[in-house]
């Protein structure tokens, strides 16, 4: 799979905001039918990186290629038109909209969508429900239900099903499981696997190593805006990945730090970090 032309490739991409350098020489390849997990602590630059891929930011230096050809995204629509779909943490949805209506938001009615020039509620509902159910979400069976009444996992699933339905080639998921309980997260992970099975290239952003390991074929760890490690499934253990994400600070280092603290504070453990 890896010797094929990547669907999406970054070559030495830098992004600065004025004097602030956020991304440094990011090089990455994403292949069809694979999940690339982008791991990194808060502030590592994950969101900046995906906004650059989604056409929100223009790289300061470097190239973005799709199917081997350089692309320049001046605005989010440019990336969307090339099949890059981004799903944000809460599904980026509209709580007061029906499932059927939210499914077709922003879809150009002129692009072969004749019936939607005048919004056809029943057809829209039927298409939306069918698309979501094809991902195994059989609990969504009424397109008139409001998006606000869905669980976090169902909203994510709806957003992913929508992106796939409208022909996304690259699916970018920004922390899709961060706010979810175990069951809901497992649900979303199954849908990620289904999107991969259908041949999409998926970029899955998370700081939860277990979630990454459940779906990832390829992993990149971002530290202070640079790729600190790039490896494939099975090449590193969970502990090694966790240590990498902590910036090379191992559990042993952490224990030494805590012991040192307790020595100087008469055996009191350090306070818990603020949530
Ligand atoms: N528009 C901006 N202007 C200046 N600095 C920014 C901007 N956007 C992000 N940053 C900085 O870039 C760094 C990475 O942020 P971000 O990409 O949100 O990280 P992550 O998503 O990994 O938590 C942070 O230090 C943040 O303050
Ligand atoms: Mg972020």
- Distance (angstroms) between ligand 1 centre and the Cα of 47 equals 7
Summarised one tens digit per residue, pLDDT across range 86-134 is 987 666 667 888 999 888 887 654 445 555 555 678 888 999 999 989 8
Rounded Cα distance, 58 and 22, in Å = 13
> Lowest-pLDDT range, 39-48, 100-109, 141-150, 212-221?
100-109
Rounded Cα distance, 191 and 200, in Å = 12
Which ligand is nearest the CA of 48, by number? Answer: 1
Residue nearest to atom 14 of ligand 1 (CA): 45
pLDDT band at 62 (very low <50, low <70, confident <90, very high): very high
Summarised one tens digit per residue, pLDDT across range 237-267 is 999 998 888 875 555 565 666 667 667 776 6
The backbone torsions φ and ψ at residue 152, rounded to the nearest 5 degrees and listed phi first, read -55, -40
Q: What average pLDDT is seen over the chain?
A: 86
The backbone torsions φ and ψ at residue 237, rounded to the nearest 5 degrees and listed phi first, read -85, 170
Residue nearest to atom 1 of ligand 1 (CA): 17
- Distance (angstroms) between ligand 2 centre and the Cα of 41 equals 9
- CB count within 10 Å of CB 218 equals 21
Ligand 1: lining residues by beta carbon, under 6 Å = 17, 20, 22, 40, 42-48
| Residue 58 pLDDT exceeds 60 | yes
Residue nearest to atom 4 of ligand 1 (CA): 17
Summarised one tens digit per residue, pLDDT across range 136-158 is 888 889 999 999 888 888 888 88
Q: What per-residue confidence (pLDDT) applies to 59?
A: 96
- Distance (angstroms) between ligand 1 centre and the Cα of 22 equals 7
| Residue 268 pLDDT exceeds 80 | no
Q: What per-residue confidence (pLDDT) applies to 1?
A: 47
Summarised one tens digit per residue, pLDDT across range 225-241 is 999 999 999 999 999 99
Q: Report yes or no: 31 and 6 within 8 Å, Cβ to Cβ.
A: yes
Q: Which residues contact 84 (CB under 8 A, 6 or more apart)?
A: 8, 53, 54, 55, 168, 169, 170, 172
Q: What per-residue confidence (pLDDT) applies to 41?
A: 86
Q: Which of 19, 26, 48, 49 to mutate to test the pocket of ligand 1 (most atoms within 8 A of CB)?
A: 48
Residue nearest to atom 2 of ligand 1 (CA): 17
Task: Pick the atom of ligand 1 nearest to 41's CA.
Answer: 22
- Distance (angstroms) between ligand 2 centre and the Cα of 46 equals 5
Give the SS3 label for residue 121. helix
Q: Report yes or no: 86 and 8 within 8 Å, Cβ to Cβ.
A: no
CATH superfamily of 8-93+173-264: P-loop containing nucleotide triphosphate hydrolases (3.40.50.300)
């Amino acid at each position: 799979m890896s010797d094929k032309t990547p669907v999406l490739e970054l070559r030495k991409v830098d992004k600065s905001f004025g004097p602030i350098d956020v991304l440094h020489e990011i090089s990455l390849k994403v292949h069809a039918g694979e999940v690339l997990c982008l791991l990194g602590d808060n502030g590592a630059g994950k969101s900046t990186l995906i906004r650059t891929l989604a056409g929100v930011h223009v790289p300061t230096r470097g190239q973005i290629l799709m199917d081997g050809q350089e692309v320049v995204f001046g605005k989010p629509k440019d990336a969307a038109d090339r099949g890059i779909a981004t799903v944000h943490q809460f599904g980026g949805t509209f709580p007061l909209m029906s499932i059927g209506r939210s499914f077709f938001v922003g879809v150009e009615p002129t692009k072969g969508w004749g019936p939607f020039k005048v919004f056809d509620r029943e057809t829209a509902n039927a298409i939306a429900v069918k698309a979501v159910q094809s991902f195994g979400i059989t609990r969504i069976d009424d397109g008139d239900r409001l998006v606000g009444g869905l669980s976090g996992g169902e909203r994510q699933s709806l957003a992913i099903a929508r992106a796939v339905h409208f022909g996304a080639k690259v699916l970018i998921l920004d922390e899709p499981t961060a706010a979810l309980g175990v069951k809901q997260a497992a649900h979303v992970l199954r849908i990620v696997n289904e999107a991969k099975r259908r041949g999409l290239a998926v970029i899955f952003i998370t700081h939860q190593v277990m979630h990454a390991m459940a779906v990832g074929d390829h992993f990149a760890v971002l530290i202070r805006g640079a790729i600190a490690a790039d490896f494939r499934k099975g090449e590193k253990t969970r502990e090694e990945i966790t240590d990498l994400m902590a910036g090379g600070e191992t559990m042993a280092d952490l224990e030494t730090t805590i012991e040192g603290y307790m020595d100087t504070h008469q055996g009191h453990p350090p306070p818990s970090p603020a949530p």
